[in-house]
Amino acid sequence: MVTICTRRAAVLALGALTMLSISKPAESAEEMMGRQAVENAWQGAGVAKSNVVSATARERSPGGKMPEPVVHARLTSCSGMLVVNLSKMCHVRGDYTTGNCRLPAVPAYP
């Protein structure tokens, strides 16, 4: 069975990561994939959960293809966002920062 990553998975992942109150008895495979992908991206960027003020998930449809989740995280350490693009299989396609956010391991959007 192939599990597809959706905006819902990314939103639930954000809830787990930012400790928002989402009452779920157990994590589905889809939710776990989303959470792990976002956690790995934030960890790779050197961002602790405590540095995340808020986060949102949206969908983008590159070239009219199946929608893929995009996670925007506002950080306490800067004025801008850390953006993580996920594939439909919940793999990190890439990440970048916006505004005046600068992270050593992440490119800044021009």
Domain spans of the chain, in order of start: 7-97
Taking only the tens place, the pLDDT of each residue in 65-79 is: 777 788 888 999 899
pLDDT of residue 6: 63
Each residue of 16-55: pLDDT tens digit? 555 443 444 456 776 677 777 878 888 888 888 788 888 8
Q: How confident is the model at residue 99 (pLDDT cuts 50, 70, 90)?
A: very high
- Helix pair angle (7-18, 29-44), 10° resolution: 60
The number of angstroms, rounded, from the C-alpha of 11 to the middle of its chain's C-alpha atoms is 8
